[in-house]
Amino acid sequence: MASKYSKDLLLTMHRKMYLIRRFEERTDQAYKQQKIAGFCHLYIGQEAVAVGTNEALRPDDYMLSGYRDHGQPLARGSDAGMVMAELFGRGTGYSKGKGGSMHIFDIEHHFYGGYGIVGGQIPLAAGMAFASRYRNEDRVTVCFFGDAAANQGAFHETFNMAVKWKLPVIYICENNRYGMGTAIGRVSAEPEIYKRASAYKMRGEAVDGMDCLKMYEAVKDAVEYCRAGKGPVLMEANTYRFRGHSVVDPAVYRSKDEVEHERKNDPIPKLKEYAIKNKLATEAEFDAIDEEIKAQVDAAVKFADESPEPSLEELWRDTIVEPGEEDVRPRERVLGTKVKWPSYPSGQELKVTWDLEPRQQAEREDKKAGLAR
């Protein structure tokens, strides 16, 4: 039976996953050479989650993430050199080196952070999805967060509102089994995060986060659900990070046998094997892509290394936005590349076109629950 996936899709997925893997390996090296400071969390092992999701989205859909945020913008199409420069704290980074590893932000590609506060992006994603409904757009917002963030209060408060307002948002919990060094089962009464959706009458499901194609299919279906106005989705992507919580974490809380066992499930060779087995690509084509990516990441590191540090005057810039002030367009500022910049309605001509708290529906629910007679 012929594969339903195109050669172009499979090679694009491989290219992006290998870019993230190679980028993160060089990030690890640079950190140990003291070229990167502060906290730094690698995405090695979890590439299928970001890439499978991205390929199921439209380029203008919104995306937010937590602090393990190098992989998602690379999957979106951000410039690898400017992301690396941001990690190096250089003026050519997306935020002039002032955001750093945990706060990558690329409006051009609709990647809205990168948040260092655990779970802080969860309510923000609901706000962006609300804006899409308010503007009568059909955009979907995707929000990544880790398993430990599922125990934050904002998780529950946001889900309640997102369901009541039928917001077009997909919450993807990247369950890599450890909140820093603590196994999720030790701190969670319900470690299968997707099951919590039922408490809010919300669609919830688990997916193999180590398989790029399964992620792609699951998110594609969830996107259709959201665009149809049926409300939010909670998706639990079961994945595994091959490295410690951060670059400096030796990960002694898990055994070598466990890590080696999980490495057999590496999503990159898995996708490659599928493509070759189905005669959609050859070993030589994968080798050529890998060589291209190695050169691309080498160039990204060189670009970051040779870029200047921000000037002292930059300390006080970009802290307050004046009314009417134009956005700084990072790729135009750094590379001189003309970019297509998103534009949004002012909001003054808009109004809520649906009943936020429908009284009749509430009365029916009260009767159903036996609260009103």
At 64, phi and psi to the nearest 5?
Answer: -135, 160
Q: What is the pLDDT of residue 347?
A: 63
Number of structural domains found in the chain: 1
**C-alpha Rg value of the chain to the nearest Å:** 21
Give the count of alpha carbons within 13 A of 358, CB side only: 10
pLDDT in tens, 4-14: 999 999 999 99
The amino acid sitting at 194 is: Y
Scanning the structure block, which residue is given the tokens 């060094």? 181
For the chain, counts of helices (H) and of strands (E): 13, 7
CATH of the domain at 154: 3.40.50.970
Q: Which domain holds residue 145?
A: 7-311
User: Does any domain span residue 287?
Assistant: yes
Residue 339 CA from chain centroid, whole number? 22
User: Does any domain span residue 329?
Assistant: no
Q: Identify whether the C-beta of residue 198 lies closer than 8 Å to the C-beta of residue 204.
A: yes
At 115, phi and psi to the nearest 5?
Answer: -130, 130
User: Does any domain span residue 328?
Assistant: no
DSSP string, 300-323: HHHHHHHSPPPPGGGGGSSSSPPT
User: Does any domain span residue 369?
Assistant: no
**Three-class SS state of 172:** strand
**Three-class SS state of 285:** helix
Q: What is the pLDDT of residue 121?
A: 97
User: Does any domain span residue 93?
Assistant: yes
Q: What is the pLDDT of residue 250?
A: 93
The pTM of the full predicted model, rounded to 2 decimals, is: 0.95
Low-confidence ranges of the chain (pLDDT < 50): none
d(CA 268, CA 287): 13
